[in-house]
Amino acid sequence: MAEIILFHHAQGLTEGVREFADALRAAGHVVTVPDMYEGRTFDTLEDGLEYADTVGFGTVLKRGQDAIEDLPGEVVYAGFSLGVLPAQAVAQTKPGALGALFFHSCVPPTEFADEWPAGVPVQVHAMADDELFVEEGDLDAARELEKVAGAELFLYEGDAHLFADSSLEEYDEEAASLLMERVLAFLAAVDAR
C-alpha cells in the first residue's frame, strides 16, 4: 500500500479525477486529493486556465502545497496536467518523496531544484500527438527527466490532452486503462522497496 497525493488539472477536481483516485483506493492505496480551486470546476480547459491565471498560478501552486503541509512526507506525488506543478515541486523539494507520477504534463527538472532527488522514481504519461505536451516543451522536459532521473516516459497513441479523466469528452478508455495498469505496477514497485 502506498500513500499518494494526487493534484487535479486545470478544469478542477472533476468527477473523473475523483474516479481515478477511487480506482487507486480500490487497489489498496491511500489517496489524498487537494482541491486547489476551492470547489470550482470548469467545462473547458481554457476556462480553467483562465481561472488559474486570474488567481495566479503561484497561488494555485501554493494552495496545493499548503493542503499537504501537515501530511507525512513519505508519499508518492502525482498530478494531472496543471497538477504536475505542485506534484513535481514537492517531489523535488520535500524530503521523503517515494516517487512521482506525472500525467499529461512535465516541467523541466531544474524548475524547482538544481537536480532530481536521488532514488525517487518517476513516470510521465502523455499522448504522443498532444499539442500541449509536445509543442509547449513538456515532451522535452520529460526526455530530460529520462536522462537525469531515469524517468519512464510513456507516450500513448492519440492527440488528447486529459485522456485519463473519465468525465471529459477527450477520455480514451483504452489508453487510460493502460496508464492505470502502469501506475499500479509503479506503485507496487515503490511499495516493495
pTM (2 decimals)? Answer: 0.93
Contacts of range 107-114, beta carbons closer than 8 Å, 24 or more positions apart: 107/138, 107/141, 108/137, 108/140, 108/141, 108/144, 109/141, 109/144, 109/145, 109/148, 109/149, 112/88
Q: How many CB atoms lie within 10 A of CB 23?
A: 17
Q: What is the pLDDT of residues 109-165, one digit of tens each?
A: 898 888 899 999 999 999 999 999 999 999 999 999 999 999 999 999 999 999 999
Structural contact between residues 102 and 79, judged by C-beta atoms closer than 8 angstroms: yes
| pLDDT at res. 74 | 86
List the chain domain ranges. 3-192
Is CATH 3.40.50.1820 the classification given to domain 3-192? yes
**Angle, CA of 86, 90 and 96, to the nearest 5°:** 155
Residues 80-90 pLDDT 10s: 999 999 999 88
